[in-house]
């Protein structure tokens, strides 16, 4: 049995899922915590699903088994729904409230559930949806949605705010550090209200 704190980050290609997992990994190194991670992003550049597994403090492999994730950080409501089976009993999901229609569904004319329908399907678990796009825009760029999500999820992570802020500063391009730190703080603040 693993003693790790398991974080699954999910989104679609281009949303910064990999950068978010790199920031978490860097924060673990800053905090002196062992960390293992893995990512899958087969068709990510075409808007496909991207998932990264981060296991903080564990001694076993990098992949999280279904039903064992402590938290899922999702950059899209559909991805939250797709991966909810990874969540352990008592775990939680922090997700963007956006619904990104998959290219395959769009080209096939398939019906996609609405935001309200997805939230209803997630109502039986601890799930918090936030306006990541709005907060990122408020911070200075919509591209910082991934860092907004890390800020919102930071209350549940076994990492200090200082370690996360330092990891952001080390991981993003120097000219975007201030904007990303602002995005992180806006994400944190939205769940303190």
Q: Model confidence over 75-108: pLDDT tens digits?
A: 999 999 999 999 999 999 999 999 988 777 777 7
Cα distances from 186 to residues 87, 129, 130, 131, 136, in angstroms, run 25, 14, 11, 11, 8
Sign of CA dihedral 5, 44, 49, 65: negative
- pTM for the predicted model, two decimal places: 0.93
CB 35 within 8 A of CB 77: no
CB 149 within 8 A of CB 191: no
In the chain, % of residues over pLDDT 90: 78
Q: What pLDDT is recorded for position 128?
A: 96
pLDDT per residue over 141-193, tens digit each? 999 999 999 999 999 999 999 999 999 999 999 999 999 999 999 999 998 75
- The model's confidence at residue 1, banded by pLDDT at 50, 70 and 90, is very low
Cα distances from 131 to residues 84, 85, 107, 163, 173, in angstroms, run 20, 23, 27, 24, 24
């Amino acid at each position: 049995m693993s003693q790790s704190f398991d974080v699954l980050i999910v989104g679609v290609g281009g949303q910064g899922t990999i950068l978010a997992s790199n920031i978490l990994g860097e924060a673990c190194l800053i905090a002196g915590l062992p960390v293992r991670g893995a990512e899958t992003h087969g068709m990510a550049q075409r808007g496909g699903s991207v998932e990264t597994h981060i296991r903080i403090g564990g001694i076993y492999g990098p992949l999280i088994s279904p039903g064992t994730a402590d938290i899922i950080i999702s950059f899209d409501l559909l991805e939250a729904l797709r991966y909810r089976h990874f969540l352990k009993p008592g775990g939680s999901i922090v997700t963007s409230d956006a619904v990104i229609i998959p290219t395959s569904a769009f080209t096939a004319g398939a019906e996609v559930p609405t935001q309200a329908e997805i939230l209803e399907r997630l109502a039986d678990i601890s799930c918090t949806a936030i306006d990541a796009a709005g907060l990122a825009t408020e911070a200075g760029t919509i591209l910082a949605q991934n860092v907004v999500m890390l800020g919102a999820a930071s209350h549940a992570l076994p990492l200090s705010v200082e370690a996360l802020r330092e990891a952001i500063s080390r991981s993003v391009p120097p000219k975007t550090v201030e904007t990303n730190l602002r995005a992180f703080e806006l994400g944190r603040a939205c769940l303190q209200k």
